[in-house]
Amino acid sequence: MRKRTQRFLLVFSLLSLLISCAPPTSGPKGAMATSTPNLPPPNVTRIAPPDAGETLERYLQAYRQDDYATMYDLLSENSRGAISLDDFSKMHAESRDAMSAYDLEYQVLSSSLSPRSATLNVRLTYHTALFGDLSREIPFQLNLEHGGWRLLWSPGLILPELQGGGRLVTSYEIPARGDIYDRQGLPIATQSDIVAIGIIPGQINPDTEGFLLSELSKVTGLPAPVIAERYANALPDWYIPIGETNGDAAQRLLRLNLAGLVLTPYSSRFYYDQGIAPQTVGYLLSISKENLRQYRRRGYRGDERVGAAGIEKSAESYLAGKRGAKLYVASADGTIKNLIASTDPQAAASVYLTLDRNLQLQAQRALAGFRGAIVVMEVNSGRILALASSPNFDPNLFDPQNRNNILLNDLLNDPNTPLVNRATQGEYPLGSVFKIITMAAGMESGLFAADTTYDCQYDFTELPNIVLHDWTWDHCQQQLQTEGECKTRPSGVLTLPEGLMRSCNPWFWHIGVTLYKYERRGDIANMARAFGLGAPTGIQDVPEASGNIGEPQTLLEITNQAIGQGDVRVTPLQVARFIAAIANGGTLYRPQVIEKIQAVDGTLLRAFRPEAVGTLPLRAENLQVIHDAMIQVVQNPRGTAYYRLSGLGIPLAGKTGTAESGIPGAPHAWFAGFTMANNPNKPDIAVAVIVENAGEGSDYAAPIFRRMIESYFYGQPRSLYWWESTFGVTRTPTPLGGIPTETPKP
């Protein structure tokens, strides 16, 4: 019974379905029967095929970006079957490299579309470093596959000349690299025939050793004892690198044929005097694998050595010239089929630096054995005459042809970081030289004047529960330990200019505390920034650090800042610039190291022009007070630099500085000052000197400053350092950089 009922219901359901699907019965004319409503048709969405132009756009955009995987994914199945992704990528990349195509553009000129195929005619333009613009009109064909457009690829889509096979090859004509000179045209870096100089100690004839050392000293500029020290502890058969030379000096050494002397000729880039301002001039390196594509797109063959640092890098486009080249299509076996494009070489330009070669070498020698820096700057132009950083290094060592290249690994791993340009990248606390800025902030606040006085004693007690000591107290304690009695007394009552002359710490702590209490805690920091600290100077062609000038939040922080400690960090270049501004009446110039860049035909491609970029925010009378106080630092018998700089014969002004370095008993020594000679043939200069971890500024930096003044005005130093036995040689050798030095006591 149950089964019969189920069959009935099934038949009934089928009949109902047939009735519902039957056509409606017509009623009266113009009307439809409504007894059986009509169901709406199913909702069907038609999907349009993608635009062929969008696919081509994606393909060519990927080509611009060297995104060959995306390009390959847009090829038809047959095209992908005919070439692998690796070969596809290699062909496109190498073609662009051969053309030196650093970019490309495209324009669709016309199109022909059908339901399953499309042809788009495109003007493809390669922007190349060597050949200018290379344009071709190329038809791109696409088919509709699996609901999407895909390209029918062939090599002709790169260039029509590649259709049917072949590859692009380029022959190069490379001009000689441009030279680097000092401001007077004396060579610093040139292409030359060179000899690498070395010594095998066991082969030296004792009877001629003195003559050998004398000749090598003439050639390298190194004192004979320094050269002897290099091989003193070497095994007899060791090769000991000494340096490099060229020209007549090289020929003379070759003719002498001295026992123990090893000379290895080669031809390459030569850096004179084992490196003149090497941290500024830079050096060459072979193009790395990682950078090869970038240089190929700039028109390089790829096996050249290129500027890797300093002027060599920043002026690469001038010094490298422009390569001549011919672009060919070659068959698979290398047979040249046809010439596509060609260009003639253009000679490299020469770079003339603002540096004075002799002064620069004297600066490097002045720092020998120390870590530190010297900056010499014309006060009225921003022209840099010397930019020395110590330890120095020999940029010739980067040349793999140079036998002395064996020292390169030692150079790269030297813990004294000789590659760092301490003059522009070294960041140091400024110590008491910063008191110039604190003095300026105090006077400009209106709270202090030139005739304001302060009693400068051993102790400073204006901070709650903290006692700070003047430098005179430190000297007293040292004398008690070494001599049993205190000879250094407090400075006593001082005017503000006298406070700078005596470098009285309590005077400047007092300024900081007073400004803080009058809710002017930012005055010193703001003045420092207006003096150009805490920001790049804007020097071009040489990397530089910014330094740091923070905002003091507590009384202790502002007292530290007031004497150039705490978080104060400056570069020697920044210091030389604001010292020059004090000398010239308040103008901050942009420091510059390039005098001119000149083409072989004499055309000036770039020329030095003084560029004023700021003004010290000081009233003229306050600037004059600071100026005069700096003169007293040097001229007054109570001035902190009087003893070291007296009798020089050149009118000077300056400021000593001793900056705590974080190493007990090893502060940084500073001296910064300027000349007032008014010599029409010798523009006045500002000089900043720092010697790391050496001692007090008056003991170490001031004598080095003196040597730079002598070298500038007289052409060579006239007085020995108090720690020297002869020029360039200290009394007791120590290990820094393999150059004898010591840390003697005054």
Cis amide prior to 552 (ω within 30 degrees): no
Say whether both 266 and 287 belong to one domain.
no
Cross-strand partners of 180: 189, 351
**H helix runs in 518-658, sequence order:** 523-530, 555-562, 572-584, 620-635, 642-645
According to the model, what pLDDT value does residue 731 have? 61
Angstrom distance (rounded) from CA 509 to CA 462: 9
Say whether both 480 and 594 belong to one domain.
yes
Q: What is the pLDDT of residues 291-342, one digit of tens each?
A: 999 999 999 999 999 999 999 999 999 999 999 999 999 998 888 999 999 9
User: The domain that contains 261 carries what CATH number?
Assistant: 3.90.1310.10
Task: Give the dihedral of Cα atoms 366, 641, 659, 685; nearest 10 deg.
Answer: -60
Residue 528: inside a domain, yes or no?
Answer: yes
According to the model, what pLDDT value does residue 257 have? 87
Say whether both 612 and 696 belong to one domain.
yes
Contact 604, 590 (CB under 8 A): no
Please count the structural domains in the chain.
4
Quick one: tokens of 385? 């005459």
Say whether both 265 and 324 belong to one domain.
no
Say whether both 660 and 694 belong to one domain.
yes
Angstrom distance (rounded) from CA 373 to CA 391: 9
DSSP strand pairing (466-469 vs 459-463): antiparallel
Quick one: tokens of 415? 């813990």
Residue 700: inside a domain, yes or no?
Answer: yes
Of 253, 275, 297, the residue that ends a domain is 275
Contact 739, 390 (CB under 8 A): no
Say whether both 536 and 590 belong to one domain.
yes
Say whether both 149 and 195 belong to one domain.
no
According to the model, what pLDDT value does residue 84 have? 97
Of 332, 351, 370, the residue that ends a domain is 351
Say whether both 591 and 621 belong to one domain.
yes
DSSP strand pairing (180-181 vs 350-353): parallel
Q: 10: part of which helix (H) or strand (E)?
A: helix 2-21
Contact 470, 459 (CB under 8 A): yes
Hunting for tokens 């500085």 — which residue is that?
Answer: 657
User: The domain that contains 148 carries what CATH number?
Assistant: 3.10.450.100
Residue type, 466: I
Say whether both 443 and 525 belong to one domain.
yes
- Cα–Cα distances in Å, from 612 out to 144, 192, 317, 589? 65, 39, 27, 4
- Cα–Cα distances in Å, from 523 out to 43, 437, 512? 76, 10, 9
Say whether both 303 and 263 belong to one domain.
no
Contact 586, 616 (CB under 8 A): yes
Q: What is the pLDDT of residues 393-415, one digit of tens each?
A: 999 999 999 999 999 999 999 99
- Cα–Cα distances in Å, from 433 out to 209, 327, 413? 47, 61, 33
User: The domain that contains 452 carries what CATH number?
Assistant: 3.40.710.10
Angstrom distance (rounded) from CA 735 to CA 369: 8
Percent of the chain that is helix, strand, coil (3-state, to 5):
35, 25, 40
Hunting for tokens 């040139």 — which residue is that?
Answer: 190
According to the model, what pLDDT value does residue 434 have? 98
Say whether both 267 and 205 belong to one domain.
yes
According to the model, what pLDDT value does residue 50 have? 66
Residue type, 648: L
- Cα–Cα distances in Å, from 663 out to 368, 647, 660? 22, 34, 7
Residue 686: inside a domain, yes or no?
Answer: yes
Residue 47: inside a domain, yes or no?
Answer: no
Helices then strands, each counted (H, E), the chain: 25, 29
Angstrom distance (rounded) from CA 489 to CA 477: 11
Give the number of other CB atoms < 10 A from CB of residue 619: 12
Angstrom distance (rounded) from CA 253 to CA 230: 19
Angle, CA of 282, 318 and 125, to the nearest 5°: 125
Strand locations in 247-360 (E): 261-271, 284-286, 305-307, 324-330, 336-343, 350-353
Residue type, 23: P
Give the number of other CB atoms < 10 A from CB of residue 392: 21
According to the model, what pLDDT value does residue 715 have? 95
Residue 391: inside a domain, yes or no?
Answer: no
Question: What order of strands is seen across the sheet that includes strand 324-330?
Answer: 167-173, 324-330, 336-343
Residue 629: inside a domain, yes or no?
Answer: yes
Contact 276, 395 (CB under 8 A): no
Hunting for tokens 């007054």 — which residue is that?
Answer: 636
Contact 593, 355 (CB under 8 A): yes
Say whether both 158 and 231 belong to one domain.
no
Quick one: CA dihedral 200, 202, 203, 207, positive or negative?
A: positive
What domain range is 298 assigned to? 281-351
Quick one: CA dihedral 574, 575, 580, 582, positive or negative?
A: positive
* Helix 572-584, helix 620-635: angle, nearest 10: 110
Q: 106: part of which helix (H) or strand (E)?
A: strand 101-114
Residue 452: inside a domain, yes or no?
Answer: yes
Residue 118: inside a domain, yes or no?
Answer: yes
Give the number of other CB atoms < 10 A from CB of residue 643: 12
Give the number of other CB atoms < 10 A from CB of residue 142: 24
Q: 148: part of which helix (H) or strand (E)?
A: strand 148-151
- The closest of 100, 159, 92 to 343, measured between CA atoms, is 100
Angstrom distance (rounded) from CA 231 to CA 359: 30
Of 137, 165, 193, the residue that ends a domain is 165
Quick one: tokens of 2? 């149950």
Question: Residue 290 — φ and ψ, nearest 5°?
Answer: -65, -30
The residues of the chain scoring below 70 in pLDDT are 1-50, 731-746
